Homo-oligomer: A and B are copies of this chain.
């Protein structure tokens, strides 16, 4: 893209973004659940205004943080509707626990308590349920969070596919954490904790809709050990954390760029990507930057802390941690990808839903 063309494209996207409109979609589509543009429009134009949006909601963080007595606690909730229920590297029960623990971890909160609410389809095999409940229990023990309660509802045959799992989590915010989605400053660096896109591709391949034999496993795991290591190593230099789930790394970067009003420049060849995942993405025609991870984090750190942060991540088991780019003043609110060939392209939020029901 020429410099002039790029400028025009940036200005057009920026104009569209700042134009705040009513939610005009007549019906809900899968794109509204994909974590990209349509999800953001649903949240910003319908959910937040109709709920009477307080400051917490409007912040759109992975978890809300508020005081309870003298404690500062983080709270989050998620629904999981992944299909199939089991896939290489994980299953819905494990995913639900890790996803909730990770939303707390992104707020700098140590996992404390979790609830598990099940919507079960009449006729569900009890052993399938047992396996998922056991998987959730094992994941909770591994992550050091106590499952304190839950709820079970049963709907008729055909009214849910097998089971949906809704989780909520509460954590205690680490007093060293000074995290904010708007904290990025020009000069800061972008780090990821490991290769991207593995969860989404593992689930897609598990459906057997594609004739691909690639062996890809979900990356689902608790990220609290990685966050704890970062807080030990460089608490003051750690600006923002996100786990790039639905909408992938691209959507997480866009959210942080918009909130901080900075530009994020990603060097494409530095983004870690397993060969099998890259190959599957190419065959499926999907950019891995938009594919969900469920056990990776994106960290923005001050430049002097890059080595300490990478060392901390590796010591916490994130062998593939890498620096992938920088924060710049311009283009404010946008993400650019710099390719190995020297060109740059705008990496916008996810549009549509190429990979439905992956979490």
Mark A residues whose CB is within 8 Å of B.
23, 25-34, 39, 42-43, 46-47, 50-52, 54, 56-57, 61, 63-64, 66, 68-73, 75-81, 112-113, 115-126, 129-130, 133-134, 136-138, 140-141, 146-156, 158-161, 164, 166-168, 170, 172, 353, 356-357, 359
Contact = CB atoms under 8 A, between A and B. Distances in A.
A70 B43 CA distance: 34
B160 A159 contact: yes
Interface pairs A-B: 4 shortest CB-CB: A69-B71, A168-B168, A33-B154, A166-B166
A33 B120 contact: yes
B154 A75 contact: no
Query: By DSSP majority rule, is chain A's interface helix, strand, loop, or mixed?
Result: mixed
Given A119-B79, A166-B166, A137 B28 contact: no
A42 B152 contact: yes
Query: What is the copy number of this chain in the assembly?
Result: 2
Contacts of A141: 52
Contact of A27 (B113, B126, B164): B126
B77 A151 contact: yes
A56 to B, nearest CB: 4
A129 B54 CA distance: 19
A137 B69 contact: no
A26 B77 CA distance: 30
Contacts of A164: 119, 153, 155, 160, 164
A152 B32 contact: yes
Nearest to A132: B50
A39 to B, nearest CB: 6
A50 B133 contact: yes
Given A52-B140, A124-B27, A164-B164, A148 B79 contact: no
